[in-house]
């Protein structure tokens, strides 16, 4: 890598300019310069308060850098509102007003100076803004969470000086009556309790290098390509997690920060890691560009940045190049052979891989309507590449979801087909830890094959003990096999791998069911109530909560939980659970059945 590339990185760039600065100076040079300086000073403070870096002031313009577009827009809107109020209090008409442009792109940092096309584009966008207004690039607009109280007006495709291709531009302002949002806080309320996020002490750093890979920004100017950018980040997470000496935060926790305005150091604080990788993917036709930067969150320094260009046929090689560069930066002694050994089997057809990436968000949503979309995509992928293990395992999981939860799209032969797909996945690639573990989970819950499922998850743990998917699947398989004492440390490892998991209820349920069948009913209640506070609409949670309440004498609460379960799963009954739940130890099954009966679940 050339030396000057070390200073390159992907960033959100803000360029602000004083409207009519020459005219202001002509009115009173001394007052005008003082007020312009004061304006930029106040804006710089606002930028810092919103997680940005005010790099420099160039005459009557200011350049700043942000990690997230939502931070840049929030800072800009907050300042424009405050500056309008400030100017109204002045007794004369020397009132500096800013126009602001915001873009996304690669920049070079040297001596606190930003240069590069991204800076030039931000300047061109600023020139399109109205007095006191803000213009943003279409690519930045695509990354903004739509729940934010911002109002957008499309200015269409604009031809800007120095750029061959037109640029989509949006004007943005605060919605009437709204306020600039603070950092997002989550409060979940249900009839079983309410919980708000509280300040958590920093997690202790693992005793080995630790890293979180954030969702990659989609720079393709097409929101439909989000799945592809997400897939790139997820594949890099998978590759890195196979290295036993490296601690890698799970996908669900990393992806909790998608489209959120959070400082890198705060992310590292919340996840308990030293390094954070962020990047972008641009896909146009058959070409792919991956841009990345690696940050040492202990001091906020950028320790590596690069970009990788290729075709869709090269996509796995591009991922490997990113992985090797990360590993080589964090652990110089590592040999490239370790990456070579960590590679999983590649699909025979890139179209099957692309369909898999499209299906995964629908699968992870865990809802009947999205499940149907995932099945359709995965069936297409399996037809194209019938021996691609991730497709087979995830299709089996789709069928298991709709069968076990009695969703409307369930079919009579789902159990049989899911088991067959799971066995095919294991046979297709025994080195793919995630696919093997998911297949093992399917064998346990649908085929009650405790021997085969244990062999599968144990093999997966040997390959990749750092995978959250593997720990989750292995935890449930050991529970069903009558080994809750093995499941609990797996669940604890799972929570450390994914401390801010978007689906924390799944993690908590894994631990709660292990405590329940171990007879630790109070612990099961406490953990499952936390699960409900994260997400109250998952029927599995009430499979655990009802017997936990019953065995602690909280019958009234158990009865309310039964009402909720029947709302979510009208067909739920004791005889159905007796037939369906695959516990090897009949005493463990009886704990649940007695709890259901005491709470009044229909026979």
In a domain, 414, yes or no: no
Same domain, 332 and 277: yes
Q: Tell me the mean pLDDT in the region 390-419.
A: 94
pLDDT of residue 281 exceeding 90, the answer is no
Task: Give me the torsion for CA of 79, 80, 86, 90, rounded to 10°.
Answer: 140
Residue 498 lies in a domain: yes
- In a domain, residue 272? The reply is yes
Whole-angstrom distance, CA of residue 476 vs CA of residue 454: 10
Q: pTM for this one? A: 0.59
Residues 17, 152 within the same domain: yes
- Residue of 576 and 499 predicted with greater confidence: 576
- Same domain, yes or no, for 18 and 141? yes
CATH code of 589's domain: 1.25.40.10
pLDDT of 473-519, one tens digit each? 999 999 999 999 999 999 888 888 888 776 788 889 999 999 999 99
Q: 319: domain CATH number? A: 3.40.50.10610
Domain boundary at 299, 325, 342, which?
342
Same domain, 146 and 245: no
Indicate the pLDDT class of residue 183, thresholds 50, 70 and 90.
very low
> What residues have CB less than 8 Å from 302, skipping those under 6 apart?
9, 109, 293, 294, 295, 296
Residue 164 has a pLDDT of 83
One domain for residues 159 and 31: yes
Does residue 140 share a domain with residue 251? no
Does residue 411 sit within a domain? Answer: no
Q: Given a cut of 50, is residue 336 above it in pLDDT?
A: no
Cα–Cα distance for residue pair 546/569, rounded to 1 Å: 14
Q: Which residues of 140-168 are buried (b: 16+ CB within 10 A; e: fewer)?
A: bbbbbeeebebeeeebeebebeeeeeebb
Domain that holds residue 575: 488-603
Residues present in the chain in total: 603
Domain end point (choices 342, 360, 389): 342
Number of helices and strands in the chain (H, E): 24, 16
CATH of the domain at 100: 3.30.70.1230
Encode pLDDT of 216-244 as tens digits: 888 876 766 788 888 888 888 888 887 77
Separation CA 503–CA 365 (nearest Å): 9
Number of other residues whose CB lies within 10 A of the CB of residue 139: 23
- 535 and 595 in a common domain: yes
Q: Per-residue pLDDT tens for 503-516?
A: 788 889 999 999 99
Mean pLDDT score, 575-586: 94
pLDDT band for 2, please (50, 70, 90 cuts): very low
440's enclosing H/E stretch is helix 433-447
**How many domains does one find in the chain?**
3
Residue 181 is assigned to a structural domain of this protein: no
- What pLDDT shows up at residue 335? 41
Does residue 426 fall inside a structural domain? no
User: With bands split at pLDDT 50, 70 and 90, how would you rate the model's confidence at 5?
Assistant: very low
Distance from C-alpha of 177 to C-alpha of 197, rounded to nearest angstrom: 26
Query: Which position has the higher pLDDT, 131 or 342?
Result: 131
Residue at a domain's end among 291, 307, 342: 342
Residues 63 and 153 in one domain: yes
Q: In the predicted model, what is the mean pLDDT of residues 330-353? A: 60
* 18 lies in some domain: yes
One domain, residues 218 and 94: no
Sign of CA dihedral 33, 36, 37, 38: positive
The alpha carbon dihedral of 42, 48, 52, 54 has a sign of positive
Pair 276, 211: CB distance under 8 Å: yes
Q: Are residues 58 and 153 in the same domain?
A: yes
- How does the average pLDDT of the chain come out, rounded? 85
Q: Is residue 326 part of a domain?
A: yes
If asked whether residues 22 and 99 sit together in one domain, one would say yes
pLDDT digits (tens, 9 = 90+) for 252-280: 888 878 766 667 888 888 899 988 988 88
pLDDT score, position 261? 62
Residues 492 and 576 in one domain: yes
pLDDT digits (tens, 9 = 90+) for 365-402: 788 888 999 999 999 999 999 999 999 999 999 999 99
Picking from 203, 198, 182, 175, the residue whose alpha carbon sits closest to that of residue 261 is: 182
Q: Are strands 275-284 and 210-213 parallel, antiparallel or unpaired?
A: parallel
Confidence at residue 195, expressed as pLDDT on a 0 to 100 scale: 42
């Amino acid at each position: 890598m050339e030396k000057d590339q070390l200073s390159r990185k992907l960033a959100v760039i803000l360029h602000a300019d004083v409207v009519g600065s020459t005219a202001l100076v002509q009115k009173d040079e001394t007052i005008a310069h003082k007020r312009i300086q004061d304006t930029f000073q106040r804006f710089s403070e606002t930028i810092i308060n919103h997680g940005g870096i005010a790099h420099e002031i160039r005459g009557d313009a200011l350049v700043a850098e942000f990690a997230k577009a939502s931070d840049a827009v929030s800072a800009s809107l907050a300042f424009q509102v405050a500056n309008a109020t400030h100017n109204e209090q002045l007794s004369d008409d020397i009132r500096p007003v800013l126009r602001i442009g915001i873009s996304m792109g690669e920049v070079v940092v040297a001596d606190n100076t930003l240069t590069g096309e991204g800076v030039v584009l931000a300047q061109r966008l600023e020139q399109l803004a109205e007095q006191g207004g803000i213009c943003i690039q279409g690519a930045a607009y695509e990354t903004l969470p739509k729940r934010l109280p911002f109002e957008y007006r499309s200015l269409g495709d604009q031809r800007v000086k120095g750029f061959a291709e037109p640029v989509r531009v949006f004007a943005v302002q605060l919605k009437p009556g709204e306020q600039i949002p603070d950092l997002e806080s989550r409060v979940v309320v249900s009839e079983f309790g309410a919980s708000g996020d509280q300040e958590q002490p920093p997690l202790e750093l693992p005793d080995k290098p630790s890293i979180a890979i954030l969702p990659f920004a989609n720079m393709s100017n097409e929101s439909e390509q989000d799945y592809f950018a997400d897939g790139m980040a997820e594949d890099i997470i998978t590759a890195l997690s196979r290295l036993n000496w490296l601690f890698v935060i799970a996908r669900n926790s990393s992806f909790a920060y998608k489209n959120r305005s959070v400082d890198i150091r705060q992310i590292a604080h919340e996840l308990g890691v030293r390094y954070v990788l962020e990047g972008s993917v641009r896909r146009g036709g058959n070409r792919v560009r991956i841009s990345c930067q690696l940050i040492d969150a202990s001091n906020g320094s950028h320790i590596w940045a690069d970009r990788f260009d290729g075709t869709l046929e090269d996509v796995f090689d591009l991922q490997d190049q990113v992985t090797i560069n990360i590993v080589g930066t964090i652990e110089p002694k590592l040999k490239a052979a370790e990456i070579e050994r960590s590679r999983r089997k590649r699909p025979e057809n890139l179209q099957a891989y692309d369909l898999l990436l499209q299906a995964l968000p629908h699968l992870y949503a865990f809802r009947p309507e999205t499940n149907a979309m995932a099945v359709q995509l995965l069936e297409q992928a399996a037809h194209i590449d019938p021996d691609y293990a991730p497709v087979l395992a995830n299709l089996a999981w789709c069928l298991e979801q709709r069968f076990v939860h009695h969703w409307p799209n369930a079919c009579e032969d789902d159990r049989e087909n899911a088991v067959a797909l799971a066995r095919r996945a294991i046979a297709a690639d025994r080195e793919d830890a995630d696919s093997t573990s998911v297949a093992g989970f399917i064998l346990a819950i649908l085929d009650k094959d405790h021997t085969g499922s244990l062999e599968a998850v144990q093999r997966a743990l040997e390959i990749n003990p750092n995978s959250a998917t593997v720990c989750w699947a292995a935890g449930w398989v050991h529970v069903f096999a009558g080994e809750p004492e093995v499941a609990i440390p797996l669940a604890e490892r799972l929570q450390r791998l994914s401390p801010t998991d978007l689906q924390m209820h799944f993690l908590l349920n894994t631990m709660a069911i292990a405590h329940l069948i171990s007879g630790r009913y109070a612990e099961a209640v406490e953990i499952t109530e936390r699960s409900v506070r994260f997400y109250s609409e998952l029927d599995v949670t009430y499979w655990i909560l009802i017997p936990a309440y019953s065995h602690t004498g909280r019958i009234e609460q158990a009865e309310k939980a039964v009402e909720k379960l029947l709302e979510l799963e009208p067909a739920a009954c004791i005889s159905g659970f007796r037939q369906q739940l695959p516990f090897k130890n009949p005493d463990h099954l009886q704990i649940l059945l007695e709890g259901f009966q005491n709470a009044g679940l229909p026979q």
